[in-house]
Chain A
Amino acid sequence: MVEGDGYLVRLMDLGLERLKKMIMDIGEYSAKTVFLAIDSYSQGEDLMDHLYIRSNEIRKMYDEVNELAVELIARYQPVASDLRFIKSCLEIGYGFLRFSRYAFDISQVLRIFGEMTSCDKSNVIRVGEHVKEMVKKSIEAFVNRDINLAKKVKEMDVFVDKTYLDALKMASNSKNVKCTISEVLILRYLERIADHATYIADSVTYIISGERVTN
């Protein structure tokens, strides 16, 4: 079988397409999970049980990605860009798994701390929106094989890191323990989500260029 550009359609290509589709599905689902967690904080809604179920579903989806990746390696002994793609799908899938785990952690903070209407949520909401954009862009970079977008995600991480560290430094002066601890914890989880979005973006760069991104 020959494609339009004259190259063979290989048996492995069918598997690689399936793997890509699975990664896109898990990406979409885990992004939605992160968005739910962030929105539940700003809206004061307890979604912990729901996010726990979603997080477990994502674990199962990631296991399926893992199995397919190993099967493709065992069956076809991929090399070069094929091998980089499979390896990166495992890393990216793991990133999505972490997204959902931190989303659950955010919801757990809400459950434990309860009602927080008196807290100033503006910092978390601002970072939350920023992290949502990073998550969206990291997935978009993977789907469209877009190195420039991947770079943009990496640049966006600086703001999250800074905001988290500033909040941490200020925490010792705070008088409202409940508001401060919940804010710092959630900023910490958002910072971790942002880091994983950055790793996903780095994996996209690696798939395309073959070069590892150095920090």
Chain B
Amino acid sequence: MIGKKSVSVEKEIDRIRSLYKIETENLNAWFGNKHVLKDISLKIRVNAVTAVIGPSGCGKSTFIRCLNRMHELVPSARVEGKVLLDGVNIYSREIDPVLVRRRIGMVFQKPNPFPMMSIFDNVAAGLKLNGVRDRKRLYEIVKRSLEQAWLWDEVKNDLDKSGASLSGGQQQRLCIARALAVEPEVLLLDEPTSALDPIAASKIEQLIVSLKKNYTIVIVTHNMQQAARVSDYTAFLYLGKLIEYDETSRIFSNPKEELTENYIAGRFG
């Protein structure tokens, strides 16, 4: 009986672990002497959208840049604590940060397609870097990625045109397609719509919701309504600390912390 129980406990641990794609444990980050993230511990659900909100300078962007080891690319930046991807600490010595970034893609605030490349080559760039040369296979992946990013129908006849020729919203979807092409498991979005008009932003929001079926998504946003619309879970950061983390419906209807309430209700910011 004891043996049976321990097997079921292990299964339960596996089950709970499989609910979370990323777990941070006492995550701290610095820029030089400036302590910008303080003991952040949270679990990010698999196949869900998690929004990170908070006022400017609270550490939102630093937090997601720690999730794919981009923070350490900044000179003087430092990280302590753990980030577990499927239970494995990505900050372990034996882990290659390039592989981490392949599994955890990122899209930035300002659309940044490679300006000298065609639409096709923009999406194919990561694949080529990873050694994919077969033209037919490249085409298939580029098409699939553009379809996933809801851009295929708009660009299928212009694949040779420059990525810079697209509108802002299309460029951002191109960047999402580029991130998806290398088949990441997690997508980090750092204020992906703040440079876009409301219609283009709305398309990106719909896209985000559709993508969670296949990806775990973390989005940093200044726009509280956007967090409320697209996310399943919301983390509120303030002065580098995690103040509250809960289901989005709970955060926006009845947050536990007064600080969260005052921030989301626009009483400070």
B262 with A7: CB separation less than 8 A:
yes
B15 within 8 A of A: no
By a CB distance below 8 angstroms, the chain B residues around A211 are 254
By a CB distance below 8 angstroms, the chain A residues around B265 are 10, 78-82
| Interfacial residues of chain B within 225-269, with CB under 8 A of chain A in the complex | 225, 228, 252-255, 260-262, 264-268
B254 with A80: CB separation less than 8 A:
yes
Which residues of B are at the interface with A, using a C-beta cutoff of 8 A? 224-225, 228, 252-255, 260-262, 264-268
Q: When chains A and B are docked, how far (Å) is the Cα of A79 from the Cα of B236?
A: 15
A114 within 8 A of B: no
A79 with B252: CB separation less than 8 A:
yes
Chain A 191-203 near chain B by CB (<8 Å), digits 1 or 0 = 0000000000000
| Interfacial residues of chain A within 158-190, with CB under 8 A of chain B in the complex | none
By a CB distance below 8 angstroms, the chain B residues around A210 are 253-254
A77 within 8 A of B: yes
Chain B, Cβ-Cβ closest to A7: B267
Q: When chains A and B are docked, how far (Å) is the Cα of A10 from the Cα of B262?
A: 11
Chain A 59-81 near chain B by CB (<8 Å), digits 1 or 0 = 00000000000000000011111
Chain A, Cβ-Cβ closest to B250: A210
Chain A, Cβ-Cβ closest to B254: A210
Given A79-B228, A79-B252, does the pair A8, B261 have CB atoms closer than 8 Å?
A: no
A109 within 8 A of B: no
B255 with A80: CB separation less than 8 A:
yes
By a CB distance below 8 angstroms, the chain A residues around B228 are 77, 79
Which residues of A are at the interface with B, using a C-beta cutoff of 8 A? 6-8, 10, 12, 77-84, 210-211
By a CB distance below 8 angstroms, the chain A residues around B262 are 7
Q: When chains A and B are docked, how far (Å) is the Cα of A78 from the Cα of B167?
A: 32
Chain A, Cβ-Cβ closest to B262: A7
A79 with B267: CB separation less than 8 A:
no
A79 with B224: CB separation less than 8 A:
yes
Of the candidates A7, A8, A77, A79, the one whose C-beta lies within 8 Å of that of B253 is A79
A7 with B254: CB separation less than 8 A:
no
Closest chain B CB from A84 CB (angstroms): 7
Which of A10, A80, A82 counts the most B-chain CB atoms under 10 A from its CB? A80
A80 with B252: CB separation less than 8 A:
yes
By a CB distance below 8 angstroms, the chain B residues around A78 are 265
Given A79-B224, A79-B228, A81-B261, does the pair A8, B266 have CB atoms closer than 8 Å?
A: yes
9 smallest A-B Cβ distances: which pairs?
A: A210-B254, A7-B267, A79-B252, A80-B261, A79-B264, A77-B225, A82-B265, A10-B266, A80-B265
By a CB distance below 8 angstroms, the chain A residues around B264 are 79-80
Q: When chains A and B are docked, how far (Å) is the Cα of A10 from the Cα of B267?
A: 7
Closest chain B CB from A16 CB (angstroms): 11
Of the candidates B225, B253, B268, the one whose C-beta lies within 8 Å of that of A80 is B253
Closest chain A CB from B252 CB (angstroms): 4
Q: When chains A and B are docked, how far (Å) is the Cα of A39 from the Cα of B130?
A: 86
9 contacting pairs across A/B (C-beta < 8 A): A10-B266, A12-B266, A78-B265, A79-B252, A80-B254, A80-B255, A80-B264, A81-B265, A210-B254
Closest chain B CB from A2 CB (angstroms): 9
Q: When chains A and B are docked, how far (Å) is the Cα of A81 from the Cα of B228?
A: 15
Q: When chains A and B are docked, how far (Å) is the Cα of A7 from the Cα of B262?
A: 8
Q: When chains A and B are docked, how far (Å) is the Cα of A8 from the Cα of B265?
A: 10
Of the candidates B224, B252, B268, the one whose C-beta lies within 8 Å of that of A7 is B268
Please give 7 more A-B residue pairs, beta carbons under 8 A apart, in addition to A7-B262, A79-B252, A80-B260. A10-B266, A77-B228, A79-B264, A80-B261, A84-B253, A84-B254, A210-B254
